[in-house]
Structure 1
Amino acid sequence: MSNSWTSASGADLSAGYARHAGTLRGALRHALVARALRTHLPSWEQRVLDVGGGDGHQAVQLARAGHHVTVLDPDPAMLQRAQARVEAEPDHVRGRIRLVEGAGENAAQLVGSGFDLVCCHGVLMYLPNPDPFLHALAGVARDGGLLSVLTKNGQALAMRPGLEGRWADALAAMNTRREIGNLGVPTRADTVGDVERILGEADAATIAWYGVRVFTDHLGDTPVGEGFDQVLEAEWQAGARDPYRLVARHFHLISRRVGS
């Protein structure tokens, strides 16, 4: 399946992603997703598939907590960064992480099935059509297993350009749910209802959803500074309730596969 990440004219998007991960916005995204996963994932050992797991940030956090994680990503440059991150960990963490190159829609053939948790964070925005991709991911989760999806919020895509005074971009985002993302490639956005519908067709029912970056998305490349824990708590509280989560940059949806 073609997507705007892997077709980006050979550009090394992994470097831009790494820079973003070091900003306040990037750190908040990782921390908020991790907190939601801790809320819903059992504490005992789980088999996790992280599709589009990129540089391995989430995988390392999950492995440190005692879970076994397979990272499946189509970008060799991202997997190289993941390998470097994993190699910096102690043996007991490294031994719980497996890195596999390949596309998420081929997950069953590449890594098997029966996973307790399947993560898909920051991937759908690069796909022209999320339906077959999400169906494939649901198919490799075990009955009763969890799916975790993070993507751009189509109902609030105009918030960032509007708050930054980019009025033409705000109007375009409202009308198309598309934009050129931080990394310079075309992206698109979904709604919670869109993803719930697709996962429902694949026998996965929503447990909860959270807004990610309600108050801070317009702050550009502001670095992580003092008071991060307080910012994180404010974002977590806002992201768990209406009306705040409705205008978040991303939404994070957790669902459970109920079987057929």
Structure 2
Amino acid sequence: MTDPGAHASDNSWVRGAVDHALVPAYQTHTATLRGIIRQRLVTRALRTYLPDPPGRILDLGGGDGIQAIALARLGYQVTICDPDPDMLRQAEENLLTETGTTRDHVTLILGDGHDAAGLVGGDWDATLCHGVLMYLPDPAPLLNVLAAVTRPGGTISVVGKNATALALRAGLQGRWHDTLTLLDDESRRATVTEIGNLGVPSRGDDPRHIQDLLTAAGTEPVAWHGIRVFTDHLGDTPPGPDLDTVIEAEWTSGSRDPYRQIARLYHLIHTRRP
């Protein structure tokens, strides 16, 4: 594991939205049933669509390294580029519990993902952007970067908040005022803003809109999955002994219509055109 000490640009894309003090809250969320389901489903999809290891993977906004570590264990070389030094310090702490081989497979870079070409170069076998677009005023520039730094034929993985289903959680939790507000926002535009898990405003997007932006950037769609169809309203419920069964139900439902359309998160897989 190395850290060349690259610096974030002045227009850092997450730092202004997710305050450093919220890093512990994010860590808490990742240990809940909802957090574990997200990570396990994303890893399962990546194992399905990524080229076999070894391969070079760039994780823009990889934060505390949970996803990168899962891929490093499989033999991939993963570079995290993130603008938040607190998140990268957490990633370093998480790596301390891994084997030396896994640690050697992860590189941490402090920097803004919009500057990825200058920070880490291009020709990556795969690029990941998970849980980042929701904090950006405009997702298109970062999606263009993802496509630009991926090698022809390489894989692009994007996870974001599904604007067409945001009212579902509020309704299932009995928050009827929030439900009506989100339904009204959803009917008027493809982008919907709410207060997310970390207590800060975050935006949802229509996955079809993100697919169109990726296609315009020079990619082809391969697959899209929904994440958290049945469990998103469960708050901070911890995982139980039936975790594997729950994950199987979520994977199966998130792989087909109409269920994936009402999932909390979308997971899009594209490939860079030659």
TM-score computed with the length of structure 2 as normaliser: 0.91
Partner of 1:144: 153
Aligned: 1:195 with 2:210: yes
Matches within 5 A, 1:1-260: 1=11, 3=13, 5-8=14-17, 10-176=19-185, 177-259=192-274
Report the 3-state secondary structure (helix = DSSP H, G, I; strand = E; otherwise coil) of the residue aligned with 2:163: coil
Displacement of 1:193:
1.0
| Deviation (angstroms), 1:174 | 2.5
Measure the CA separation in 2 of the matches of 1:117 and 1:13: 29
Match of 2:5 in 1: none
Q: How far apart, CA to CA, are the structure 1 residues paired with 2:56 and 2:180? A: 43
Separation in structure 1 between the aligned mates of residue 207 and residue 197 of structure 2, nearest angstrom: 22
Contact 2:226 2:255 in 1 (8 A): yes
CA contact (8 A) 2:12 2:83 kept: no
Name stretches of at least 5 consecutive residues in structure 1 with no aligned partner.
none
- Aligned counterparts of 2:154 and 2:37: Cα–Cα separation in 1: 26
Decide whether the 8 Å contact of 1:178 with 1:189 is kept in 2.
yes
The letter of the residue matching 2:222 is: I
2:176 counterpart letter in structure 1? W
Equivalent position SS for 2:221: strand
1:37 Cα deviation from its structure 2 partner: 0.3
Once residues 25 and 10 of structure 1 are traced to their aligned partners in structure 2, the CA distance between those partners, rounded to angstroms, is: 22
Question: Does the 8 Å contact 1:119/1:148 carry over to 2?
Answer: yes
Tell me whether 218-227 or 82-91 shows the greater mean CA deviation: 82-91
Instruction: Report the alpha carbon displacement of residue 234 of structure 1 after superposing the two structures with TM.
Output: 0.2
Q: How many residues align?
A: 258
Q: Which runs of 5+ in 2 are unaligned?
A: 1-10, 186-191
Deviations 1:63-114 (A, max 9, x none): 1100000001111111000011112211111111100011111100111111
Q: Is the 8 A contact 1:172 1:178 kept in 2?
A: no
- RMSD value over aligned CA atoms? 1.2
Tell me the distance in 1 between the aligned counterparts of 2:17 and 2:125: 33
Task: Give the distance between the partners of 1:258 and 1:10, measured in 2 at CA.
Answer: 37
Aligned to 1:155, the other structure's residue is in SS state helix
Q: Which residue identity lines up with residue 97 of structure 2 in the other structure?
A: A
SS in 1 for 2:182: helix
Q: Distance in 1 between matches of 2:60 and 2:248?
A: 27
In structure 1, C-alpha distance between the alignment counterparts of 2:256 and 2:170, rounded to whole Å: 23
Contact 2:34 2:231 in 1 (8 A): yes
Distance change >3 Å, CA 215–CA 10, structure 1 → 2: closer
Shift of 1:157: 0.9
**Cα displacement (A) at 1:8:** 4.3
Q: Secondary structure at the match of 2:16?
A: coil
Instruction: Using the aligned pairs only, state the percent identity.
Output: 51
Please tell me whether the aligned partners of residues 120 and 148 of structure 1 are also in contact (alpha carbons under 8 angstroms): yes
Structure 1: distance between partners of 2:83 and 2:53: 29
CA distance in 1, matches of 2:258, 2:17: 36
Read off the aligned partner of 2:273 and give its amino acid letter: V
Task: Give me the whole-angstrom Cα distance separating, in 1, the residues matched to 2:198 and 2:180.
Answer: 21
Partner amino acid for 1:56?
G
Q: Distance in 1 between matches of 2:53 and 2:113?
A: 26
Contact (CA 8 Å) 2:60, 2:80: kept in 1 or not?
Answer: yes
